[in-house]
Amino acid sequence: QVQLVESGGGSVQAGGSLRLSCAASGRTFSSYGMGWFRQAPGKEREYVASISRSGATTLYTDSVKGRFTITRDNAKNTVYLQMNSLKPEDTAVYYCACALGGSYSVLAGVYDYWGQGTQVTVSS
C-alpha cells in the first residue's frame, strides 16, 4: 500500500505563509490523483485542493482560491500545498490523500490512502 507523510505544518500569524509537503512511497506516483483535505476540531473533514496526475489540472475550494497553490513534483514523489495570506479559519489538521486510479475529486471517498496529518495553526 501507499504511505503518505505530511510535513511543514506549524504556527503562524494571520497573513503569513506556510508550505506543506506530502511524500509518497508509491513507485507509480505519477499515475495518482492527489488531494489535500483539512479538519478543524469538532468539524467535518473538508476538501481543500487537488491535482491531476500530470499536474496540468488543479482544483480548489472557494475559500482558499487565490491564496493556496497545489503543485506536484513527480520526480520526487511529492505534492505541495503553498498557503499564503493565512487566516485564523485555516487552522486545522491538514491531510494529503492519494487516489490510485488518478481521480482528483472533491469527494473524500475517491481517495484510497491518507497521511497522518500535520497541524496548521493561524493566530489573529
pLDDT at 27: 85
The span from the CA of 102 to the CA of 109, in Å, is 13
Evaluate if residue 1 carries a pLDDT over 90: no
The span from the CA of 99 to the CA of 80, in Å, is 16
pLDDT at 26: 82
The span from the CA of 73 to the CA of 76, in Å, is 5
- Cβ(81)–Cβ(72) below 8 Å: no
pLDDT at 93: 98
Q: Report the share of the chain in percent with pLDDT over 70.
A: 100
pLDDT per position as a tens digit, 89-103: 999 999 999 999 999
Average pLDDT score, the chain: 97
* Averaged pLDDT, 48-68: 98
Spatial CB neighbours of 124, under 8 Å, sequence gap ≥ 6: 13, 14, 88
Q: Which residues pair with 15 in a beta bridge?
A: none
The phi, psi pair for 90, rounded to 5°, reads -80, -10
- Dihedral class, residue 112 (left if φ above 0, else alpha if ψ from -120 to 50, else beta): alpha
pLDDT at 76: 97
pLDDT per position as a tens digit, 6-48: 999 999 999 999 999 999 998 899 999 999 999 999 999 999 9
